[in-house]
Amino acid sequence: MPVKNRFAELHPEITAWRQDLHENPELLFDTHRTSALVAEKLRAFGCDEIATGIGRTGVVGVIRGKSDRSGRVIGLRADMDALPILEQTGVEYASKTPGAMHACGHDGHTSMLLGAAKYLAETRNFDGTVVVIFQPAEEGGGGGLEMCKDGLMDRFGIQEVYGMHNWPGLPSGSFAIRPGPFFAATDIFNLEIEGLGGHAAKPNETIDTTVVASQIVMAAQTIASRNADPVDQVVVSITSFETSSNAFNVIPQRVMMRGTVRTMSPQMRDLAQSRLTTLAEGIAASFGATARMDYTRNYPVMVNHEEQTEFAAAVAASIAGSCADAPLVMGGEDFAYMLEERPGAYILVGNGESAAVHHPEYNFNDEVIPAGCSWWAEIVERRMPAA
């Protein structure tokens, strides 16, 4: 079955929603306009129940089918927040908020799920209940965790949950998925090196923190090359290096570094944290300096469940003709928290040859909308066929 005819009809309307959201991006939990717009549309669609303020600014809509003999409840989740990036797309509906833009396509995800909700509320051609979930703060705020902490799954009786993300480089409207670990755990760290500052002409009277920190930067790469099992992925990136002095002739007292660690298994996550801390402290001590590590475990590994992944792939293939095997992704995704609470699956839908996500020239491809909406709707109608 190709895309549903109804979504071809709704395509201009959904595109208008998407471009409006793109023009008015909001960050993290401050999705007040977006959340209000979503709730307003869900009411207009005739959803049976609408709840706001879940996970601070999350919105949930409940749509009941023509019958409920199955007792099944399926959750469909889209993220709503933008990124703190200055947009450089040049489109006429570009962000009106300086320093914020929808650089990851959450405007598209939200609009596609709204389109699916409109269709499902119109037809109700399924046996069970659909819960549409609009989540804030995916981009580092852990909005998925906050919604789960607010009792999302139990309150609405969700039994399975499905998510979707657009993917630049994948042909427009095509799909890709993989079972098991899919997106990486995303830990972050701050590392402070304390030495003995002094005059750059007298390094013998100092403990040079720039030398110590530079050694740590290089040694951190041995975690992947010499500590990790070669088939177990790990990325250690030190992304910021700042000293306590900007003078040409001063050896700084302190160096502050920060970075991220990406892993695909709990064992590698433990190993990477332990080795990074041990290396930093040991190298610092060998020079007479000290190292203070502040390590934070952020999003966990996102793991697709086997049965739900197979089902999601079959639905995608019915729409696009096939569903590709997706690669492992070392980026993070806080849908992981929802998949820890309930079985489900997360799929990629192709955005075509666009700029990469998190790039100032990225823009969601509106041609993807009918395929994405059709996937949401087919997940429901195939998983809970009308009695």
Cβ neighbours of residue 384 closer than 8 Å, sequence gap 6 or more: 65, 70, 72, 74, 126, 127, 128
pLDDT at 306 over 90: yes
pLDDT at 3 over 80: no
Of 303, 304, 210, 221, residue with least CA distance to 261: 221
Q: What is the pTM of this model?
A: 0.95
Two tokens, residue 319: 């729409």
Residue 9 labelled as part of a binding site? no
Residue 353 labelled as part of a binding site? no
For 272-320, the DSSP string reads HHHHHHHHHHHHHHHTT-EEEEEEEEEEPPEEE-HHHHHHHHHHHHHHH
For position 17, what pLDDT does the model report? 98
The single-letter code of the amino acid at 324 is: A
Q: Mean pLDDT, to the nearest integer, of 369-382?
A: 98
The per-residue pLDDT of the chain, averaged, comes to: 97
pLDDT at 1 over 60: no
Residue 32 labelled as part of a binding site? no
Condensed to tens digits (0 to 9), the pLDDT of residues 38-89 reads: 999 999 999 999 999 999 999 999 999 999 999 999 999 999 999 999 999 9
Residue 358 labelled as part of a binding site? yes
Residue 139 labelled as part of a binding site? yes
For position 4, what pLDDT does the model report? 85
Condensed to tens digits (0 to 9), the pLDDT of residues 125-181 reads: 999 999 999 999 999 999 999 999 999 999 999 999 999 999 999 999 999 999 999
Q: Mean pLDDT, to the nearest integer, of 323-327?
A: 98
For position 387, what pLDDT does the model report? 85
Q: Classify the C-alpha dihedral 282-283-286-291 as positive or negative.
A: negative
pLDDT band at 212 (very low <50, low <70, confident <90, very high): very high
pLDDT at 2 over 80: no
What domains lie within the chain, and their CATH numbers? 5-183+302-383 (3.40.630.10), 185-299 (3.30.70.360)
Condensed to tens digits (0 to 9), the pLDDT of residues 19-49 reads: 999 999 999 999 999 999 999 999 999 999 9
Of 57, 42, 18, residue with least CA distance to 138: 57
Two tokens, residue 316: 């995608």
